[in-house]
């Protein structure tokens, strides 16, 4: 304002000198990487192990409907969940953002392929009584949302083109996630 600018011009100049907020944020993230709250992770692991212990105690009761295999399976899934949580927290999201569209295409393609194979081969590739392809498609389906978020983040500075790309990806994601569920036979969905 000392240079003869009015309030609006001074504000616009200050914003211009600050630069692109996304680029600035990425540079700050590289310098000041957030730290993992390991105490919280330890609490999650302890509570998960306590739940697993309670399941095991229930299994040990003479009239229990639980089976030993269910307790061990739950333990494997718990370990996998903790590893995935740590991986998500420690991941470098700038890489995901850089290759957002490829990541999204991969998640969509593998998800759709697994669902189509589950429909085409209804009696083959079963794992624990459920089609392996159907089970795998749910895993890849869980990656579609973060992949779509990366596409939206990447497209944010492209204006109307980016908006169109984001909406198109949302539509494709919705179709792929919804499509074959009504066509999968009941025995493949685990229903009896």
Q: How many CB atoms lie within 10 A of CB 155?
A: 19
Nearest residue to 103 via CA among 89, 115, 91, 119: 91
Mean pLDDT of all residues in 97-116? 83
Confidence band, pLDDT 50/70/90 cuts, at residue 168: very high
Q: Under DSSP, is residue 102 helix (H, G, I), strand (E, B) or coil?
A: helix
Give how far Cα 191 sits from Cα of 129, 131, 135, 184, 187, Å.
10, 12, 13, 11, 6
- Terminal Cα-to-Cα distance of the chain (whole angstroms): 74
pLDDT at 187 over 50: no
Mean pLDDT of all residues in 14-34? 76
79-100, pLDDT tens digit by residue?
888 888 887 777 777 777 788 8
pTM above 0.75, yes or no: no
146 vs 183 pLDDT, higher one: 146
pLDDT at 157 over 50: yes
pLDDT at 162 over 80: yes
| pLDDT for 34 | 66
| Mean of the per-residue pLDDT values of the chain | 76
């Amino acid at each position: 304002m000392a240079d003869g600018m009015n309030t609006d011009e001074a504000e616009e100049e200050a914003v211009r000198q600050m630069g692109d907020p996304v680029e600035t944020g990425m540079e700050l993230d590289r310098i000041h990487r957030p730290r993992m709250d390991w105490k919280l992770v330890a609490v999650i692991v302890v509570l998960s192990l306590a739940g697993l212990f309670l399941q095991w105690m229930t299994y040990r009761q003479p009239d229990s409907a639980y089976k030993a295999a269910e307790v061990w399976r739950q333990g494997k899934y718990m370990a996998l969940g903790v590893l995935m949580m740590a991986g998500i927290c420690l991941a470098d999201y700038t890489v995901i953002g850089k290759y957002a569209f490829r990541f999204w295409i991969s998640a969509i393609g593998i998800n759709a392929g697994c669902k189509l194979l589950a429909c085409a081969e209804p009696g083959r590739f079963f794992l624990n009584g459920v089609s392996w392809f159907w089970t795998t498609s749910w895993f890849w389906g869980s990656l579609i949302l973060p992949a779509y978020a990366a596409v939206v983040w990447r497209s944010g500075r492209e204006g109307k083109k980016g908006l169109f790309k984001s909406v198109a990806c949302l539509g494709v994601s919705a179709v792929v996630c919804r499509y074959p569920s009504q066509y999968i036979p009941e025995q493949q969905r685990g229903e009896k």
